[in-house]
């Protein structure tokens, strides 16, 4: 029995000793926030590097990928010459060390994201590999995925909409008042136009010989006893002819002046 227990403990020790894992952390962020997510490596065997694909949805956007502290322990890597590929919803990472093998735990990569829309985003690792000193992928590599939650969901949207409606209420009343004034102005202008047209038609009926503008928007100015259109007040007014008494007085004055001139001329020639 003791022998079996020792063998079991020895097997568990070997299993743990050969454990290889690539994992990614999780986080909760605000909408439009820029944040960083770390991808970590855990290996007790010597390795020259690792590779993985990271899948995510369009609620977040990958901005850049940086080499982690684990790989920076190597003096020469492939990161500078073959940088990671950033796609719309996937990152392809591969980084190998040229100089000396590495082991232990550390940060494999640091990825900068931006939160675009509220909701949940699964960070899924796939095709994860850890390479031994010969450059071959080791077996039994485990992966641990992460989750990103972006705040700013329905409750915040409803509050924002409520705030917008509250602040826009006076503006809506002002717009409504302007529309009423505009409509009333159109009505007044229409009534004035109708009045002018009716006046023109009435004058045409009473005096067919008068002159009217071609556009028929305002009546022409008339003389004598006809009416004249006043554009300042948009009304027609009567032309008041001189009274009969005033006409006679002017005639008598002219006659008297002519008589005086005749007498003066006659006396001058008589001398």
CATH number at residue 77: 2.60.40.680
Domains in the chain, number: 2
The predicted pLDDT at position 188 comes to 47
Compute the half-sphere exposure of residue 175: CA atoms within 13 Å on the CB side of its CA. 5
The predicted pLDDT at position 35 comes to 98
The predicted pLDDT at position 253 comes to 82
The enclosing H or E element of 254 equals helix 244-270
Low-confidence ranges of the chain (pLDDT < 50): 1, 5-17, 155-159, 162, 164-168, 186, 188-189, 196, 210-226
Q: Is residue 126 part of a domain?
A: yes
CA-derived radius of gyration, the chain: 50
Same domain, yes or no: 150 and 60: yes
Q: Is residue 45 part of a domain?
A: yes
The predicted pLDDT at position 248 comes to 74
Same domain, yes or no: 23 and 115: yes
- pTM exceeding 0.85: no
Same domain, yes or no: 115 and 200: no
The predicted pLDDT at position 174 comes to 61
The predicted pLDDT at position 236 comes to 53
Query: What values do phi and psi take at 24, rounded to 5?
Result: -135, 140
**CB contact set of 195 (below 8 Å; sequence gap of 6+):** 234
Compute the half-sphere exposure of residue 268: CA atoms within 13 Å on the CB side of its CA. 6
The predicted pLDDT at position 34 comes to 98
Same domain, yes or no: 121 and 36: yes
Secondary structure in 3-state letters for 138-207 = CCCEEEECEEEEEECCHHHHHHHHHHHHHHHHHHHHHHHHHHHHHHHHHHHHHHHHHHHHHHHHHHHHHC
């Amino acid at each position: 029995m003791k022998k079996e227990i020792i063998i079991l403990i020895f097997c568990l020790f070997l299993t743990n000793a050969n454990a290889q894992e690539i994992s990614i952390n999780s986080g909760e962020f605000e909408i439009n926030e820029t944040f960083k997510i770390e991808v970590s490596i855990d290996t007790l065997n010597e390795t020259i590097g690792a590779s993985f694909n990271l899948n995510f949805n369009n609620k977040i956007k990958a901005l850049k990928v940086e080499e982690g502290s684990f790989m920076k322990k190597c003096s020469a890597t492939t990161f500078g010459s073959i940088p990671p590929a950033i796609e719309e919803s996937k990152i392809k990472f591969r980084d190998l060390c040229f100089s000396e093998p590495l082991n232990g735990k550390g940060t494999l990569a640091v990825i900068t994201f931006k939160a675009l829309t509220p909701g949940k985003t699964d960070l899924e690792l796939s095709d994860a590999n850890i390479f031994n000193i010969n450059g071959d992928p080791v077996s039994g590599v485990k992966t641990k995925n992460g989750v990103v939650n972006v705040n700013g969901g329905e409750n915040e949207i409803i509050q924002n909409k409520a705030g917008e409606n509250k602040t826009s209420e006076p503006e809506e009343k002002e717009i409504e008042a302007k529309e009423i004034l505009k409509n009333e102005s159109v009505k007044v202008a229409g009534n004035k136009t109708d009045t002018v047209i009716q006046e023109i038609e009435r004058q045409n009926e009473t005096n067919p010989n008068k002159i009217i503008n071609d556009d028929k928007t305002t009546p022409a100015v008339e003389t004598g006893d006809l009416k004249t259109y006043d554009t300042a007040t948009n009304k027609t007014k009567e032309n008041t002819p001189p009274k009969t008494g005033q006409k006679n007085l002017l005639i008598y004055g002219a006659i008297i002046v002519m008589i005086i001139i005749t007498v003066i001329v006659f006396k001058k020639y008589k001398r």
